[in-house]
Structure 1
Amino acid sequence: MANTIFQDNFVGTFMLIPIVYFQTPTHVCLITDFCPGGELFAALDKQPLKIFREDSARFYAAEVVIGLEYLHCLGIIYRDLKPENILLQADGHVVLTDFDLSFLTSSKPHVIKHSTSLKRRRSQEFMPPSFVSDPSTPSNSFVGTEEYIAPEVITGAGHTSAIDWWALGILLYEMLYGRTPFRGKNRKKTFYNILHKDLTFPSSIPVSLEAKQLIHGLLQRDPSSRIGSNTGANDIKEHPFFEDIYWPLIRCMSPPELDVPLKLIGKESQPKVKPEEGVIDTF
């Protein structure tokens, strides 16, 4: 699956792009861009209470939305969104990685024209048509990471790209509350919670109403009621939680500062030594 994606037009926004790959009798090896920020999971784990401030969570979630939107336009259901599969570049922006569970099918592009109410016509507001392109063929595979799996995967009802929006809701919850909402003592209990447990928001951690509303919309057990399942990423981008995000230029935005700053790894993170400080010139 991963090789098929890489060989075709997999050059897009917020994706870990392979430079080259080769195969041995026992391994498939990929050489990719280096992401010195490491996993988003590690950055989250180092923060106080293991949570991000809301502006940071909003920024990371927004970039993930764009990444998922791009995949869906290519007919790809990601199927393994989690903090461990989100890497941070040197500039703090994210890339998605690890596509071994992804499902590739054809995409079905279409344009949605928004109806204009009388009130909107009078105020001369105009909503341009929305372009939507989602994978057209559902899958019945049982795949994903335990705490991020959508209900329809567990029940075997068949799933569409809507499972990625469920996983986005779990991710946003974990970034804001330091844990996933349905985790149980074991796999069986976790799956039971995903199917039956009410979604709750701990009162001990202050989170905006807009964030809670978005999470609630993403974690609808009925895929057809889940935000993002009808008009794709457009519904999510227009949510009040993302009001301060200017989507066309998000790649030019500076990531919010973390309470515990991102520590880069590798040569790029090492301080440069000036010649007069560490080197004695000899002639």
Structure 2
Amino acid sequence: MVHFKPGCSNLVGDTIDNGTLLLLEVLGSGAYGVVYRAVDVASQDGVQYAVKCLSKLNPREHTFDFHASERALHSQVSGHPNIVTLHRSFEDAEHLFMVFDFCPGGDLFGFITTRNTYWRNDELVKLVFTQLIDAVDHCHRRGVFHRDLKPENILCSKDGTHLQLADFGLATGRFVVDEFRCGSSYYMSPECLRRDLRLKEYATAPSDVWALGIILINMITNRNPWRYAVTQDACFSAFLEDVLYLREMLPISKEANKLFRRIFTLTPHCRITLSQLRVAVQEMDTFFMTDRELQRASVVVQDNAILYAGQGRGQDLLFASEASSEKSDPNSPCSTCSSCSSSFGSDEILALVYSDFHGPVNRPPRDTPAQRAPLLKSSDDTSSADSAGPITPETHPTHPVAEVPPLSDDEGLCEAVLLPVGSPLLADPVPKAEDLDVESLEKLEV
């Protein structure tokens, strides 16, 4: 059921743009307004569009600033085959309208969570993820940085072989920004979350690359690797401590794991670039574990593989280890919120980042009940500040047979490194300690 915000009326059946566009149905609604499927009644073949409608009644000033920015930045990158085209924008006495391409296949979130389109299909993953890299690269070359890359903002053809990037509501034209926690929590980089309180600003391009890495994990595993990229998050902390962590939790290949270590590098300027990422994806033999590797993998990895391979039934999934013994609870509350905002203001993440926490969170023991992940559901807000996304895996203590291998010579000094428990994370450039007060320093101990 579609819920209309105050001031937003249901325009289904109305014509707009001098009677040329007939609004047929509501595709979605959120804090920004409503998106309709429309048909051009003047065209012979009935061309369809997606029309984004924003009410002008009782507007908040910053809302119009964002939409003015969205129109300008989206127009700047329109015309690329992997970016949804903004055809035109106009307004009447009560509404603002933006007319986009209509993508009948829905979004990438739906393909990941309700089908097994990309499971063990390396060529298709390469094809579509390269399209996404090209779209983001096109934006960056034109000085536009998306800041809300996630599967819900990527639209698909009916067969899932062609992607188009959409929703530039949180995009910026600045290379460096001081607006933290902007985007969707699962996809935010550590610097965007302001992991280091001394950080005053951060570069937007590497932060987009981080989000691309999370999307790639979504596509090949139907999982998120962690909830927040801060050391107070047990999953992220385990990733920092163990270079094999992702393979201990997810059915990915050794080559894919190595690529993710290059993407999820804490120091933004040492992170893999888009051009390097494109080459690495194209040269990847496989993103997935082989059958033999799966047979030897942990129960968590095996369950993840089985669950993703069995998709297409639209069921809600829990953490992998819960799925075999526990039914999903449709009334389980989501621990994150969805709201249209330029920055993520959840009390939960603020408490994590700014807490007096001293030392990384250890992985919970095997017999510790895992916290339930949010149910699999797409955010209604296409320019949401946070969304549930695919499920984050449960963590368990692991005991690899082989020792953690050292970094090879070709990995470079800027790769993610194995940090001992209790070590402070000093990956980001920071000011001198004498410039900070004692209380700030204490809060930085991780």
User: Which consecutive residues of structure 1, in runs of 5 or more, have no partner in the other structure?
Assistant: 106-136, 246-257, 262-283
- CA shift, 1:194, in A, is 8.0
* Structure 2 CA distance for partners of 1:7 and 1:58, relative to 1, 3 Å: closer
- CA shift, 1:196, in A, is 3.8
* Distance (whole Å) between structure 1 residues aligned to residue 120 and residue 276 of structure 2: 23
1:52 maps to what in 2? 119
TM-score w.r.t. the length of structure 1 is 0.65
Normalized per residue, which structure has more helix? 1
1:178 maps to what in 2? 222
* Structure 2 CA distance for partners of 1:208 and 1:85, relative to 1, 3 Å: same
- CA shift, 1:24, in A, is 3.9
* Distance (whole Å) between structure 1 residues aligned to residue 92 and residue 231 of structure 2: 38
- CA shift, 1:225, in A, is 1.7
* Distance (whole Å) between structure 2 residues aligned to residue 73 and residue 37 of structure 1: 28
Q: Is the 8 A contact 1:150 1:194 kept in 2?
A: no
2:269 maps to what in 1? 224
* Structure 2 CA distance for partners of 1:25 and 1:193, relative to 1, 3 Å: farther
Greater RCO (CA < 8 Å, at least 6 residues apart): 1
- CA shift, 1:23, in A, is 2.4
The answer to whether the aligner puts 1:148 opposite 2:148 as a matched pair is no
* Structure 2 CA distance for partners of 1:205 and 1:151, relative to 1, 3 Å: closer
* Distance (whole Å) between structure 1 residues aligned to residue 284 and residue 214 of structure 2: 22
User: Which consecutive residues of structure 2, in runs of 5 or more, have no partner in the other structure?
Assistant: 1-68, 286-308, 313-446
1:102 maps to what in 2? 171
2:70 counterpart letter in structure 1: A
What's the CA shift string for 1:108-164, capped at 9, x where partnerless?
xxxxxxxxxxxxxxxxxxxxxxxxxxxxx3011121101100100111632221001
* Distance (whole Å) between structure 2 residues aligned to residue 11 and residue 194 of structure 1: 39
Q: How does 1:45-84 map to 2 (within 5 A)?
A: 45-48=113-116, 52-55=119-122, 56-84=124-152
- CA shift, 1:190, in A, is 8.9
The answer to whether the aligner puts 1:19 opposite 2:87 as a matched pair is yes
Structure possessing the higher radius of gyration over alpha carbons = 2
Q: How does 1:155-170 map to 2 (within 5 A)?
A: 155=194, 157=199, 158-160=201-203, 161-170=205-214
Following superposition, which runs of at least 4 residues in structure 1 exceed 6 angstroms of deviation?
A: 188-191, 258-261
1:32 maps to what in 2? 100
2:173 counterpart letter in structure 1: L
* Distance (whole Å) between structure 1 residues aligned to residue 210 and residue 158 of structure 2: 28
Give the RMSD, CA atoms, in angstroms: 3.0
Q: How does 1:196-275 map to 2 (within 5 A)?
A: 196-198=237-239, 200-203=245-248, 205-228=250-273, 233-239=274-280, 241-243=281-283
TM-score w.r.t. the length of structure 2 is 0.42
- CA shift, 1:97, in A, is 0.3
Q: Is the 8 A contact 1:10 1:17 kept in 2?
A: yes
1:271 maps to what in 2? none
**Residue-pair matches, total:** 209
* Distance (whole Å) between structure 2 residues aligned to residue 139 and residue 168 of structure 1: 19
* Distance (whole Å) between structure 2 residues aligned to residue 193 and residue 203 of structure 1: 14
2:107 counterpart letter in structure 1: E
- CA shift, 1:227, in A, is 0.6
